[in-house]
Amino acid sequence: MECRPASADFQRIRIAQLTASLSLIALIALCLAWELWLAPLRPGGSWLALKALPLLLPLFGILRGRRYAYQWSTLLIQLYLLEGLARATSDSGLMQWLAATEVALAVSFFVAALIYARLTAPSRLKATTTAAD
């Protein structure tokens, strides 16, 4: 007997995985563009661009659909949410808009990762399988 999600759950899982993947990739790109070209703290770029490096740690697990990567990356993404909220309320102009975008991407990733982790829980998959039998 194989544990597979129901058809409706499978679609939700795929949407959550796609949303999380796109949000994470966009957040990495935003962090790099923000601190290197768009609005760096210092002219010519900032070492703050290195803040994108921790986001690379869960990237391959997220792209491959590894449930554990989704679980622990929700803890990591909260740092980016916090930074975005702090800079959105303290900065002005372009930096404020970039911070608001960071917040939106972090929230999008967080919600999608939670949904993915919940829908792929082993107990949920087993309950779906036994209900279908």
Which pLDDT value is given to residue 112? 98
Which pLDDT value is given to residue 39? 87
Dump pLDDT digits (tens) for 69-90: 999 999 999 999 999 999 999 9
Task: Write out the two tokens for 8.
Answer: 């409706």
Residue 33's closest CA among 49, 21, 47, 17?
Answer: 49
User: How far, in Å, CA of 57 to CA of 47, rounded?
Assistant: 19
Residue type for position 78 = Q
- C-beta neighbour count of 9 within 10 angstroms: 15
Residue 115 clears pLDDT 60, i.e. is over it: yes
Dump pLDDT digits (tens) for 45-56: 788 889 999 999
